[in-house]
Structure 1
Amino acid sequence: MHAATERLLRHFLEGVQPAVPLVALWAHGSLAAGDYQEERSDLDLIAVLDTPATMDHWRRIKAVHRRIRLPLADRLHCSYLARQELEDLSAEHITWAFGQIFRRPVTAVTRRELHEGARVLYGPPPAELLPPVSDEELARFVRADLRDYWLVKAQERRRWLKDIWVDLGMVTVARATVTLREGRLINKREALDVLADLGAPEQVVADIRARRYGTPAPVLSRFRRGRLARAFVRSAIRRALA
């Protein structure tokens, strides 16, 4: 059991219910996929609202998140979708993440995750509200994400000195490759196993695994790790898109 996580989720639900016209609250990502690591994983949530958010709702959402003083609160991210916009894959929704509020779409991958195994925290399950994502829509998004985002980021050297870019870049490429090949989603633990089959540098994979699961970490400088990760990500993306 993850006591701190459960306490935070209960506290958040109690705070957000009176602040917005809440229809449903779902968790996706690691928390729903069975690969959640307390104090290491993010808490990825989706809130469905009965009406489009007003400026007053924006203020209330910010206040709810800023008032949370519990452990792990900085890892709680939530997107707020009006039920009238659920069919629009391109719509940008109010999102609280990384200590700030902004708008961004809820991707085809997230929508597929919700249908395949969301954890329902409040209201009806995704199948009763959220339109399904077709295999074609999923593959189209994954290809665009690799080509237009990750391949561009892989040209920049400095960002790959940071843990988050190495971890997320390597894992994302592995998960995307499986989705494009087999049409299914895998979690982060499975992605680390797939990386070995894709020819990823063993030391970099071990480095990521150590941060996520507390296994022994290899001796690897940030410069060498970043160079190896960036080179692998670029080559793996080109293979996946070929």
Structure 2
Amino acid sequence: MKKSEYQAQVDSLLSAIKKHVSGSGIDLGVEHHNSLLVVLHWIDYLKKSELTGCCDEILDGIRATAVEASGCIALGLIRPAIFALRAQIDATVAWLYFKDHPKEWDFLIRTGDGFKSRSEIIEFLTKFVDKFGSRFSILSAHKLRKVDQPYRLLSAHIHGQSTLVIPTFQKLEAMVYAEKQCKEAVSLQAEVSEYVSDIFLAYFASKWPSLPDEILKPVKSRVPSEKHAKLFS
């Protein structure tokens, strides 16, 4: 491809982005921000109350993936937004594990080896963190999200192992998705936000007196009151 031909594609991409931003982009960005507020409240709480001095930067990484997803959705770039949404979940479980495993974290940083998958960490938390499994079961039984495991849905998009999710771009401008698909990504952020919050709450529910109302109110409104004692014990 000649430079002039590629330049024409880049120009078309920029034009498509500008059209999207001037249309629904800003409103989509605001909607996205509102859909992840509970995650931001968790990060603020954890940075004030639960830092261990090990891998604290992962919490900043969760906030960064939120910024990344917001920017991508505002620009209409849904494929990279999907990666950022899944990274929120990966970073959440990684912090819960490595915050109490400084030797493993140091080894990971030094060697680039020793990564833990989401499923490995969830299995670890269920086995070794008292009541994590029972709390998460209660929260999952009274979820508002449409899917139990947003991570699986996001992974399906990323791995592209179905004709429903395989990208079909032929030109750069096709990377900018229609408003309807962008709204679906915002809805998916809401699903991820609830899932991330449920993971954190399953871990920290016994500390409910110190948790912000912005975290507790949505949970108490969807979980029947007769289950609150078991959830927050």
TM-score norm. by structure 1 comes to 0.30
> Larger Rg: 1 or 2?
2
Q: Point out the structure with the larger helix share.
A: 2
Higher relative contact order at CA 8 Å, sep ≥6: structure 1 or structure 2?
2
TM-score norm. by structure 2 comes to 0.31
